Chains A and B, each alone.
Chain A
Amino acid sequence: MTEHTRIKGRSASLRIENLDTDQIMPKQFLRGIDKSGLKEGLLYDLRFDAQGQARSDFVLNQPSYVGASILIGGSNFGCGSSREHAVWGLQQFGIRAVIASSFAEIFYSNAMNNRLLLVTLPPEQIAQLMDDADDPSRNTVEIDIKEQSLRSYSVQANFEMMPRHLKMFLEGLDSIGLSLTYQNDISKFSDQHWTRQPWLRDVAAITHRRL
Chain B
Amino acid sequence: MKPKTLYRKIVDSHTVAALDEHNLLLFCDLHLMNEYTSPQAFAGLYEQDREVSMPGQNVAVVSHIIPTHPTRIRVIEDTASALQASNLKKNCDHFHIPLFDTNDDLQGIEHVVAPEHGMIRPGMVVICGDSHTTTYGALGALGFGIGTTEVEHVLATQTLVYRLAKDMRIRIDGTLPSGTTAKDLVLAVIGHIGAQGARGYVVEYCGTAIDALSIEARFTLCNMTLEAGARGALVAPDQKAIDYVMARAPDITSEHHDAALAAWQDLHSDPGCTFDVEYQFDASDVSPQVTWGTSPDQVVAIDERIPELDELPEGPARRSAERAFHYTRLQAGAALEGTPVQHVFIGSCTNGRIEDLRAAASIVHKRHVAPGVRAMVVPGSGAVKAQAEAEGLDRIFTQAGFEWRNSGCSMCLAMNDDVLTEGTRCASTTNRNFEGRQGRGAITHLMSPAMAAAAAVAGYLTDVRRLEILQ
Residues of B within 8 A of A26 (CB): 436, 440
Residue of B with least CB distance to A20: B434
Which of A31, A34, A164, A175 has the most chain B CB within a 10 Å cutoff? A31
Q: Which of A150-168 contact B (CB under 8 A)?
A: 162-164
Q: Of A76, A81, A182, A189, which one neighbours B199 at CB under 8 angstroms? A: A76
Query: Does residue B398 face the partner (Cβ distance < 8 Å to A)?
Result: no
Q: Is the CB of B150 within 8 A of A200?
A: no
Stretch from A2-10, A100-108, A135-143 forming part of the interface with B: A100-108
Bound CA–CA A34/B47 (angstroms): 12
The answer to whether A163 and B56 touch (CB under 8 A), given A110-B147, A179-B25, A186-B27, is no
Q: Of A33, A75, A109, which one neighbours B40 at CB under 8 angstroms? A: A33
Q: Give the interface size class of chain B.
A: 35 or more
Bound CA–CA A130/B111 (angstroms): 40
Query: Does residue A148 face the partner (Cβ distance < 8 Å to B)?
Result: no
Shortest distance from the beta carbon of A157 to any chain B beta carbon, whole Å: 20
Q: Is the CB of B16 within 8 A of A185?
A: yes
Q: Of A34, A82, A175, A180, which one neighbours B146 at CB under 8 angstroms? A: A82
Residues of B within 8 A of A30 (CB): 36, 415
Query: Does residue A17 face the partner (Cβ distance < 8 Å to B)?
Result: yes
Residue of B with least CB distance to A31: B80
Query: Does residue A45 face the partner (Cβ distance < 8 Å to B)?
Result: yes
Q: Is the CB of B50 within 8 A of A176?
A: yes
Bound CA–CA A203/B28 (angstroms): 12
B74-90 vs A, CB cutoff 8 Å, 1 = contact: the mask equals 00001011011001000
Q: Which of A20-38 contact B (CB under 8 A)?
A: 20, 22-23, 26-27, 30-35
Bound CA–CA A18/B158 (angstroms): 32
Q: Which of B242-285 contact A (CB under 8 A)?
A: 249-252, 256, 259-260, 263
B409-450 vs A, CB cutoff 8 Å, 1 = contact: the mask equals 000011100000010000000001011110011000000000
B303-323 vs A, CB cutoff 8 Å, 1 = contact: the mask equals 000000000000111011001
Q: Of B21, B40, B196, which one neighbours A102 at CB under 8 angstroms? A: B196
Q: Is the CB of A82 within 8 A of B415?
A: no
Shortest distance from the beta carbon of B364 to any chain A beta carbon, whole Å: 29
Bound CA–CA A110/B263 (angstroms): 34
Q: Is the CB of B84 within 8 A of A31?
A: yes
Query: Does residue A198 face the partner (Cβ distance < 8 Å to B)?
Result: yes
Residues of A within 8 A of B119 (CB): 203-204, 207
Query: Does residue A67 face the partner (Cβ distance < 8 Å to B)?
Result: no
Known interface pairs A27-B413, A50-B440, A198-B256; 4 further A-B residue pairs with C-beta atoms within 8 A, sorted by A's residue number: A22-B436, A83-B147, A87-B147, A205-B98
Chain B residues in the interface with A (C-beta under 8 A): 13-14, 16-17, 19-23, 25, 27, 29-30, 36-37, 39-40, 43, 48, 50, 53-59, 65, 78, 80-81, 83-84, 87, 97-98, 100, 106, 117-119, 121, 123-124, 129-131, 145-150, 152-153, 156-159, 161, 163, 195-196, 199-200, 229, 231, 249-252, 256, 259-260, 263, 295, 315-317, 319-320, 323, 413-415, 422, 432, 434-437, 440-441
Instruction: List 26 A-B pairs, Cβ < 8 Å.
Output: A17-B295, A23-B435, A31-B36, A31-B84, A33-B84, A45-B435, A74-B319, A75-B196, A76-B196, A76-B229, A79-B196, A80-B432, A81-B413, A82-B145, A84-B147, A109-B147, A164-B20, A180-B157, A182-B17, A183-B157, A185-B16, A186-B157, A193-B14, A199-B249, A199-B256, A211-B117
